C-alpha cells in the first residue's frame, strides 16, 4: 500500500469524523479542525508540502486523541481516532521503509 493511499484514507476518515461530530453534536469545532488538519494532508499528497508534514500532522492528532481518550475514557471518538492515527503512522513508516 502506498503512503499516498494511506494518507488519503486517513484524510477521508478525519473529514468524516468532523462531519459526524458536527451533525450529531453540533460541534463546529470538530468540523473546522478536521478540515484544518485535512488540508495539509491533501497538500502533501498533491506534492505541494513536503512528506514530513504528514507524519507530524498525524502524530499531533494521535497525541490529541490519546489525551481526549485518557481524559474522557470514551472510546468514541478519542480512542478510535487515536488507534487509527497510530495505525496510519505505522503504515506510513512501513511504506517508506518498503520504498
| Structure confidence at residue 77 (pLDDT) | 85
Residues of the chain with confidence (pLDDT) below 50: none
| Structure confidence at residue 92 (pLDDT) | 92
The full DSSP string for the chain is --HHHHHHHHHHHHHHHHHHHHHHH--HHHHHHHHHHHHHHHHHHTTSS-TTHHHHHHHHHHHHHHHHHHHH--IIIIIHHHHHHHHHHHHHHHHHHH-
| Structure confidence at residue 95 (pLDDT) | 84
| Structure confidence at residue 50 (pLDDT) | 96
| Structure confidence at residue 1 (pLDDT) | 66
| Structure confidence at residue 2 (pLDDT) | 85
Cβ atoms of 40 and 57 within 8 Å: the answer is: yes
- pTM for the model stands at 0.91
Distance of CA 37 to the CA centre of its chain: 7
| Structure confidence at residue 98 (pLDDT) | 78
Amino acid at each position: 500500500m502506498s503512503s499516498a493511499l494511506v494518507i488519503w484514507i486517513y484524510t477521508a476518515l478525519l473529514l468524516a469524523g468532523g462531519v459526524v461530530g458536527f451533525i450529531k453534536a453540533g460541534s463546529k469545532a470538530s468540523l473546522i479542525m478536521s478540515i484544518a488538519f485535512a488540508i495539509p494532508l491533501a497538500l502533501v499528497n498533491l506534492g505541494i508540502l513536503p512528506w514530513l508534514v504528514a507524519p507530524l500532522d498525524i502524530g499531533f492528532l494521535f497525541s490529541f486523541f490519546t489525551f481526549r481518550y485518557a481524559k474522557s475514557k470514551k472510546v468514541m471518538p478519542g480512542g478510535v481516532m487515536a488507534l487509527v492515527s497510530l495505525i496510519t503512522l505505522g503504515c506510513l513508516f512501513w511504506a517508506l521503509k518498503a520504498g
